[in-house]
Amino acid sequence: MNAPRPQRDGRGGRSTPRGAGLLCAVLAGLLALSGSRADVPFPTGEQIEFFEKRIRPALYEACYRCHSTESGRSRGSLLLDTRAGLLKGGDSGPALVPGDPDASLLIRAIRYTDKDLQMPPASAGGKLPPKQIADLEA
């Protein structure tokens, strides 16, 4: 029987310590999740299901008004209603980097850590609830 081994370092542990309190707690939980996901280059059935059940509805409510084919608006040239749109991103490049929430523009935007890019805009309801941010980070 193998003793449980600590997670490999080198590749997995790229996150930098940052922020405090809640965000840290949320991230800590997420690292466990995204660690295993980062190794999977293509979405698994489970990931697609997660996307359809949790992510798409969250984005739908909060973002599609301004970023979807359906609404006919693509602010910042960004469409959030398809995986392709998310990966392609908008004016500033890919919105999502699979398996790397810290590098994802969309995640920076919804965390409100970047003062130049905060989504949804304060005028449109402001920051999402932490639970939704956590789902999106996963």
- Residues lying near ligand HEC in the complex (CB under 6 A) are found at 59, 62-63, 65-67, 75-76, 78, 89-92, 95, 105-106, 109-110, 117, 119-121, 124, 128
Least distance (Å) between residue 121 CB and ligand HEC: 5
Q: 35 or 71: whose CB is closer to ligand HEC?
A: 71
Q: Alpha carbon of 79 to those of 17, 36, 83, 132: distances in Å?
A: 31, 27, 9, 19
Least distance (Å) between residue 75 CB and ligand HEC: 3
**DSSP for 26-62, written as a single string:** HHHHHHHHHHHHHT-SS--HHHHHHIIIIIHHHHHHH
Q: 27 or 107: whose CB is closer to ligand HEC?
A: 107
Q: 27 or 59: whose CB is closer to ligand HEC?
A: 59
**Cα Rg for the chain, rounded, in angstroms?**
16
Q: 27 or 63: whose CB is closer to ligand HEC?
A: 63
Gap between the Cα atoms of 79 and 25, Å rounded: 30
